[in-house]
Chain A
Amino acid sequence: MFIFRVLPLALIAALMTDGADAAGPKLGQAAGDIEIAVVDIDIAPDGDGLPKGKGTVADGVEVYMEKCASCHGSRGEGGSASALTGGIGSLTTNAPVKTVGSYWPYATALFDYVRRAMPYDKPMTLTNDETWAVTTYVLWLNGVIGRTDVMNAQTLPKVRMPNRDGFIDGRDGRPK
């Protein structure tokens, strides 16, 4: 008899501690704008998400040589890590070389990736300014932009990547 009296009380107590949510779903808590802003780091192809700031080739050389060149080579030719340049004309061969210049359709992905994942041993340490600088330098290394071009939230999405028209949407008519 004792057990029957205690169990319901325990259940009631458990329910009361989270009364606002009640039982069952809808247990997510409202996420505030600032909370979202600090984790919402991906960059869309139209540039949505790009921060303020700008990069130049001159700024980029410095950051690149200090933080990138030891693995990717001083001109992006590759080393212990993948090449960032070259590979144009290789996509139909048995050994395609997919680089920023030969493959990537949108320059925005370069900013996105460098900022969240590079350098390999210290990701998420580059400032926005450093990321703008490296992005600009790597695009210039690939011959995609000129030496005096400035990359910012307005210009980067407009950069025409060489393989921009090289992709089709696989959700339609894919091989079985």
Chain B
Amino acid sequence: MAWPRFDAASDDTPAAGGGLLTRRAFLKGAAALGAGAAISVEAADAHLTGALPSQKAPGRSFSGYGQPSAFEKDVQRTIVELYGATAPGNGQSFTPLHLLRGIITPSGLHFERHHHGVAEIDPKQHRLFVHGLVKHPLKFTVDRLLRYPMVTRTLFLECARNSSRNAQPEPVQATCGELHGLVSCSEWTGVPLGILLEEAGIDAKAKWVVAQGADAASLTRSIPIDPAMDDAIVALWQNGERLRPEQGYPMRLVLPGLESCIGVKWLHRVKVTDVPAYSREEVAEGADLLPEGKSRLFHFAMGVKSVITQPSPGWSLHGRGFYEIAGLAWSGADRIAKVEISADGGKTWAPAELQEPVLSKSFTRFRLAWNWNGAPAVLMSRATDQRGQTQPARTAWLQQYGAGQRRHYNAVQAWQVESDGTLRNVHL
């Protein structure tokens, strides 16, 4: 797919090496594009000649639920089934990050991670139980939960195994979405879990909640009591509509800034406990491998991270000249403070423009003008959050972990731009 280019302007202000420009220069370059083409037609009824097919007949009628343009049919999640026909519902689908702009992931393109397929649940039959170390064990119908005061937050959800193929020794060649698309960002609306826990009356001994889904895995994960009480959401709505089945309809947990693995979908019960469950999912899938062979459990907070989505593998550049570099940055700790971009493999860096709104624990869109001179280049982005955490270089990330670690990969991504305009994944 060709990435749009602007022809321009020679007196631009460099922001860093490799052709990175200040934002002002880019706008000037874009303006230059408009000049030049002027057509003069004075023939009679020229409008008949120029009319487009879409202007000459009424379009189709209304629809109850709109769909993307037929011309966008290739914008799809990439599906990876881990065990093939043995377990067709165990795997992931990756958000095509490189084909999207803005910060909201369309609900139908939100990444998926299922262990036992997508549960289809009749909301009238569904109950949420709150029990365990509580004074009053409670159950909630969906209808009753829908009457609760709700909060709305724009939050990213990221699988702890996102980008894990970059932890492998050799760079895997795949699109940006296939490498990094186990992260998505939605506007989530739901009931604060803390309200439900307070109504049940949690015991002083409470240290964890064990959340379980009503899917065929009965997926079970433990969550510390602090985030459960502070900002966990029992989400019923996503991007203005009720949750998609793939996202846990009729309700799921959303834990701002924490790995989405503990955001249990098809949420069926929340049990207050004094110890974690040490369930298969949190042990066998949910622990970090450290260099000496030990494993770190309960590392939930997602690190600061960014990736250039345009251009990236999946796109190609058609000729030298102006392009807008764009990407996404996010942090599980706070808002993004800055994103720096390099076009020369990390020798020099320039600050990207952060597109408002810049929200805590959400995607932030960044962009910067770039005048590509047609020579090989290496594009990189490096995010820093408001807590002062900066995205690590790949070598620094690797040093923290054992060789088999595939979780919480948040190192700087480098895209090699070849002189023919193609892009590929490289390790720097």
Contacts and interface: CB of A to CB of B under 8 A. Distances in A.
B136 interface: yes
B144 to A, nearest CB: 4
Given A36-B131, A80-B84, A42 B293 contact: no
B72 interface: no
A149 B294 CA distance: 29
Contacts of A175: 400-401, 408
B336 to A, nearest CB: 15
Interface in B370-409: 389, 392, 400-404, 408
Nearest to B226: A171
Contacts of A41: 212, 218
B278 A105 contact: yes
Contacts of B68: none
A169 interface: yes
Interface in B15-70: none
B279 A112 contact: yes
Does more than half of chain A's interface fall in helix, strand or loop, or is it mixed? Answer: loop
Given A28-B144, A42-B271, A105-B278, A171 B404 contact: no
Contacts of A81: 83, 86-87
Nearest to A173: B296
Nearest to B277: A42
A42 B408 CA distance: 27
Interface string B152-170: 0000000000000000110
A130 B266 CA distance: 27
A117 B89 CA distance: 13
Given A41-B218, A92-B402, A168 B294 contact: yes
A167 B216 contact: no
A124 B168 CA distance: 37
A29 interface: yes
Among A31, A90, A106: residue with most chain B CB under 10 A: A31
B402 A91 contact: yes
A116 B280 CA distance: 11
A84 B352 CA distance: 48
Contacts of A27: 140, 144-145, 147-148
Contacts of B290: 168
B199 to A, nearest CB: 6
Nearest to A21: B144
A28 B200 contact: yes
B269 interface: yes
A45 B149 CA distance: 36
Contact of B301 (A31, A46, A174): A174
A170 B273 CA distance: 19
Contacts of A171: 224, 298-300
A45 B279 CA distance: 9
Interface of A: 24-32, 35-36, 39-46, 71, 80-81, 90-96, 98, 103-106, 108-110, 112-113, 116-117, 120, 123-124, 163, 166-171, 174-176
24 contacts: A25-B199, A27-B144, A28-B140, A42-B277, A44-B275, A91-B293, A93-B404, A94-B403, A96-B289, A96-B402, A103-B283, A104-B280, A109-B279, A117-B116, A117-B216, A117-B218, A120-B87, A120-B116, A123-B216, A163-B295, A170-B288, A170-B300, A171-B224, A171-B300
